[in-house]
Amino acid sequence: MKFGVSKAAELPLKLAIKEAPQHDDKGFAHAERIQKLVKNYSQFVSLPIYTWQEKGFTKEKKKKTKKVVERYWDWELTNETKPIWLRNPKDVTTEEYNEFYKKTFDEYLDPLASSHFTTEGEVKFRSILFVPATRKDDIVNTKTKNIRLYVKRVFISDDFDGELFPRYLCFIRGVVDSNDLPLNVSREILQESRIVRIMRKRLVRKAFDMILGISLSENKEDYEKFWENFGKFLKLGCIEDQSNHKRIAPLLRFFSSQSENELISLDEYVENMKPEQKDIYYIAEDSLTSARNAPFLERLLEKDFEVLFLVDLMDEVAIQNLKSYKEKNFVDISKENLDLGDKNEEKEKEIKQEFAQTCDWIKKRLGDKVARVDISSHLSSSPCVLVSGKFGWLMRSQTLGDVSSLEFMRSRRVFEINPEHPIIKNLNAASRTSPDDPEALRAIDLLFDMALISSGFTPDNPSELGGKIYEMMGSALAGKWRSAAPEVQHVPPSQSAGPQNPEAFEAEVVQPVEAGGQK
pLDDT per residue of the chain (519 residues) written in tens, 0 to 9? 445 444 444 433 333 334 445 555 666 667 666 666 665 555 565 567 677 777 766 766 665 667 777 777 777 766 665 788 988 999 999 999 999 999 889 899 999 999 999 998 888 999 999 999 998 764 455 556 789 998 888 888 888 777 889 999 999 999 999 988 888 877 777 778 888 899 999 999 999 999 999 999 989 999 999 999 999 999 999 999 999 999 999 999 999 999 989 999 999 999 999 999 999 999 999 899 989 999 999 999 999 999 999 999 899 999 999 999 999 999 999 988 888 877 788 898 999 999 999 999 999 999 999 999 999 988 989 999 998 865 554 444 443 444 444 444 555 789 999 999 999 999 999 999 999 999 899 899 999 988 888 877 777 777 777 777 777 777 777 766 766 666 656 556 555 444 454 444 343 444 444 444 444
Q: How far apart are CA 69 and CA 71, in angstroms?
A: 6
Strand pairing report for 372-375 and 384-387: unpaired
Q: How far apart are CA 73 and CA 5, in angstroms?
A: 10
Query: How many helices, marked H, and strands, marked E, lie in the chain?
Result: 19, 17
Amino acid identity, position 139: I
Strand pairing report for 324-325 and 372-375: unpaired
Count Cα atoms within 13 angstroms, Cβ side, for 281.
28
Adjacency order of strands within the sheet including 254-256: 259-264, 254-256, 307-310, 280-284, 328-332, 324-325
Which run of H or E residues covers position 67?
Answer: strand 67-77
Residues 6+ apart with CB under 8 A from 496: none
Residues 269, 274, 278: CA angle, nearest 5 degrees: 80
Neighbours of 15 (CB within 10 A): 9
Of 361, 279, 284, nearest in space to 318 by CA:
284
The full 3-state SS of 169-210, as one line of letters, equals HCCCEEEEEECCCCCCCCHHHHHHCHHHHHHHHHHHHHHHHH
Which run of H or E residues covers position 59?
Answer: strand 50-60
* Buried-exposed string 355-365: b where 16+ CB fall within 10 A, e elsewhere: beebbebbbeb
Q: Express the helix, strand and coil content of the chain in percent, nearest 5 each.
A: 45, 20, 35
Under DSSP, is residue 447 helix (H, G, I), strand (E, B) or coil?
Answer: helix
Under a CB-based contact definition with an 8 Å cutoff, are residues 174 and 128 in contact? yes
Q: How far apart are CA 15 and CA 151, in angstroms?
A: 31
Q: Residue 330: its pLDDT value, please?
A: 96
**Length of the chain as a residue count:** 519
In this structure, the dihedral spanned by the alpha carbons of residues 4, 6, 11 and 17, taken in order and rounded to 10 degrees, is 30
Backbone angles phi, psi at 16, to 5 degrees: -65, -40
Amino acid identity, position 150: Y
Residues 127, 128, 133: CA angle, nearest 5 degrees: 150
Residues 6+ apart with CB under 8 A from 446: 465, 468, 469, 472
Whole-model pTM? Answer: 0.75
Strand pairing report for 67-77 and 50-60: antiparallel
**Residue 200, annotated as binding a ligand:** no
